[in-house]
Structure 1
Amino acid sequence: MEERIKYLFRQYLNNTCTRKEFEEFFSLMNDAAHNEIVRELIRKTYEETGQSFLTYVDERGNLVLTEPAWEEQQVTKGRSRNRNRFILAVTTCVMVALAGVVWLINRPIQQRQPSSKQALAKKITGRSEYKYMLLPDSTKVWLNAASTLEYPHQFAAGKREVFLTGEAYFDVKHADKQPFLIHTGKVTTMVLGTAFNIKAYPGRENIIVSVSRGKVRVNYNEKEVATLTPGQQVKISNVNKPIVQKKIAISEPGAWQQGNLVYDDETIKDIIADLERIYDVTIRMQNETLANERISTSFRREINIEHALQVLCNLTDTRFKLENNTYLIQ
């Protein structure tokens, strides 16, 4: 390991890295932000080389290391002139670059560019899969089927932010001076310490936030649309329909954790999409008009898909059949 780090450092400092070596070098730099052994090896290697190299701060405030030769050949003179307007050139050592890596990882998420999100930890569930996790601040999260949660390895001071696609139940660790924000597209939910559920699958008609404990503030396009207390829910339309806020049973938020699939005034197509995720099946409706009809119903997750579809068909005066591994509702 030590010899490999020395080799990569020399290749980098001599500007002779191949693309693969360059990627490996920066992977080590990222590891050094979290791994004391790697950090010590890098420090030792730098002391042995006794060399320095050029870094600069670009127009977005990002610390950038000198590009290797194979990349420089693709940079035009015009691009170099433009970039020089923003460059704060400094001669520094590898340890400054390492400090820059740590800073980029820990700075507030709202200052990051979209590409920085790649550095976030990511938890993903497949169809019919559910996960429980503990975030760095001890917040508890139950992630529903076919969902993704992205979060930093360490929350920045003053703010905790995560990105959700799908559905999750959060039990947030209370911190007076460190609000917890969940971003789901145009909707941001902010809390200090509470328990609540967010349902925000792609393609759904509504994003639904339901509170079982504490208080939650919900913003849409950076404007506050609701402040929820226990037993309250808000539905925010993805198709420009009015925002709906209502009372619900305290036990309803996150009912899916106990195996209860509850649908209140939901479109049939959204319910079908849920059943596809939960049971890992494919369902098609032949009547597209019926797909937008709204119903209220509930299921127990342990019933099989055919039982659930039968309940759905009884409510919509339809029938289903299995054809080529696809359930058709007629």
Structure 2
Amino acid sequence: MSLLDVKELLEKYKSGTCTPEELRALESWYETWQHPEAEMLQWRPDEELAQELLQDFTDYRRRKETLFRSGSRHIWLKVAAVLIPIIGIGALLWFTRPSAKDAGVASPLLAVSPNTPESKRFILLPDSSTVVLREGSSLIYPASFNGNTREVTLKGEGYFDIRQQPGKPFVIHSGRLLTTVLGTAFNIKAYPDQTSVTVTVTRGKVKIEDEQSRKLLGILLPDQQIVYENEVAATKPVKAEETVAWLKKGMDFNSIPFEDIARQIGEQYQVPISFANPALRHCRIRATFEGTESLDKVLYILCTVGNASYSVEGNEVIIDGKGCTDK
């Protein structure tokens, strides 16, 4: 399997869209790569994303192997219940995306995050890129990315983690700014009622242009920020993690009932979540998230902490388990 094939499967794994056959192919490659006599992979500096995805898959394998080593039938069943849904979560997020059927097949899709404190909306785009919208923000995007570019329109604030597609740049229209990327992670703040537009890069590199004149305003690297106001662009170094701290708000659960967490996660990822065992609703969960995790990672952690498992039935996530005594 070529390096490009590996990167493709690693990307699909991260977004939860791997088919069972693709997951088996990826695991087969991983076993070969892990072998002591396998040729060492040489990653170019511009392939940092592939390295991160490989680390994600390595972590997944370690969790799986640790659980399997116990030899307990109970653990085998629990692993199956937790890991198998990973394949279907990406499809679930895609099928529960906003519908455009009422406006015609070619109509763009609109995703909106409620204008309430700490509300967020997680979006899985057609190319497996992800976007997290801050409260009161919206994103317009197509049902599929055809043509030579991938273009979306942002109003408000959003965090983008863009999948690399050589020769097919990702373009974000946000107020007066045009942001072009090939594969990176960054934050854009472009509220209609504000005169400035701000772009902050956490990983990779982006090109910033004026939307109308197409004048180049700057090339941003990690921990750099550009503020565009009154046709003047100012670039400065920043701590990007501070700019995107809003992602973590409301994602630090300290002894919160499982039911309340499930309600919040369901709203954020636009996926209905229910409990097969009512006793689980009252279990108190302690968990902290970055706010950019995929739904499968969030569910894996919550179910591990809550001694539960989850499955996907139709367009719904079902959580089941023995329950708990800590009310």
TM-score if structure 2 supplies the norm length? 0.42
Q: Of the two structures, which has the highest relative contact order with CA contacts closer than 8 Å and spacing of 6 or more?
A: 2
User: Which one has a bigger Cα radius of gyration?
Assistant: 1
